[in-house]
Chains A and B, each alone.
Chain A
């Protein structure tokens, strides 16, 4: 069965303040799939997510949502069903866990529905349930990351964009975060796009991956194929184009 294409960048050239970061980038995310965007520092991975979310300057190319061209603006993209969890957790430290979740549900106007969704995400993240009235400044790094992801789920999005969700976490916590992401994807049939630096373990939970280098997509492949080749290492070593 063919899955519907949810989000697409076509021939995208984008950046900030006249500086071009992405060069002719083509990326698509299908309904219910988990896609990784990988690459070395400065490859433009986070810029891809920000472009989906309308936080960059699009110089040429298009963003499509369900095959319809859109002009992405954050508050409209959220309402369409896209949720973005920015790099560095960025939870509101002096608000409680519950207040953080309520903030994440801005586009949901029915208060009962907000309460229901809070309970729903608390079921996914039981650690947060126990600390619901605590200020998030008191949570551990891993719990803050869980909170950031949980907050991103409050709008019940069709697609979740995660920017380096494991940054600064111990290997054990990285595993837990990845397991939670896969659980969310399967429970809700929610598409997930994960930007990560260079974690082969990520390939265990994704369907497909794009590898970026200097703002260009240099590899687009299935997770299995990428995991069994040395292409990813070669991109990081800067030898990929030479031996391709």
Chain B
């Protein structure tokens, strides 16, 4: 049961990351590889605030999300000068920089040793320990994130994002300052990724830079594309596939010595097949 709850929490965290990244990649057509940076800022922010400054879980979450959004404004302003492949490369650059900061700002992040003993969330006197309580908390967080994303994509703001994805130049003809829209969705997405980071840090109780490197950004793109671009349900499905598929492959009965490698290979081949036959993802409505 603990194993299932553990996987549920991970699926939930990845679902929040997938939903938030889909706003930028799927709905706005901006291939951002900076998401791990925001995930990390949220995780480190709340860990430091709770552990070193004695903040409560809720206030640490709110403050870290705000910090992540502020970082999102800075990065988004720079990224607004790019588009297409250059956008992806520049955003990857930020992911690398963030990893460098997590690794080298030892006074704040404890460098490669990471931060231990991050407290479990306590809300109105109730402590959310690992297992069912934490899975329930993450479920609430996923619902909250889903509702925010649903509201964003179904509003007139969301309609403009979809139009940006299709033809940004044509949109400018009607007087839209598209840079502001792109920045706004990037910051919302960053804040939600930071939120996922706070949940992850408190759950695992330990974070280190390796959990937020550029490979994580690539994995999150995989979650979004796997489930489906411009589909919120797709992000939930993508997160479930991403976390659970490798776990399911544990039970196929391969010799222990090759299970790990085979799991990665089968997973990789599955992704290649998906890209060949359904590039918009399982539930996707749009292809990059």
Contacts and interface: CB of A to CB of B under 8 A. Distances in A.
Contact of A92 (B166, B177, B285): B166
Interface of A: 53, 74-75, 78-79, 84, 86, 90, 92-95, 99, 102-107, 151, 155
B175 A92 contact: no
Nearest to B176: A106
Contacts of A74: 172-173, 175
A107 B175 CA distance: 7
B174 interface: yes
Interface residues of B, number: 18
B63 to A, nearest CB: 35
Interface stretch (B30-38, B111-119, B156-164, B211-219): B156-164
Given A86-B170, A90-B170, A102-B156, A95 B163 contact: yes
B166 to A, nearest CB: 5
Contacts of B162: 92, 94-95
A44 to B, nearest CB: 19
Contacts of B174: 78, 103-107, 151, 155
Contacts, number: 49
B198 to A, nearest CB: 34
Contacts of B171: 103
Interface of B: 156, 159-160, 162-163, 166-167, 169-177, 285-286
A106 B175 contact: yes
25 contacts: A53-B173, A74-B172, A74-B173, A75-B176, A78-B174, A79-B175, A84-B173, A86-B169, A86-B170, A86-B173, A90-B167, A92-B163, A92-B167, A92-B170, A94-B162, A94-B286, A95-B159, A95-B162, A102-B159, A103-B159, A103-B160, A103-B171, A103-B174, A107-B175, A151-B174
Contacts of A78: 173-175
A104 B159 CA distance: 12
A75 B167 contact: no
Given A102-B159, A103-B159, A103-B163, A94 B285 contact: yes
A79 B156 CA distance: 20
Contacts of B166: 92-95
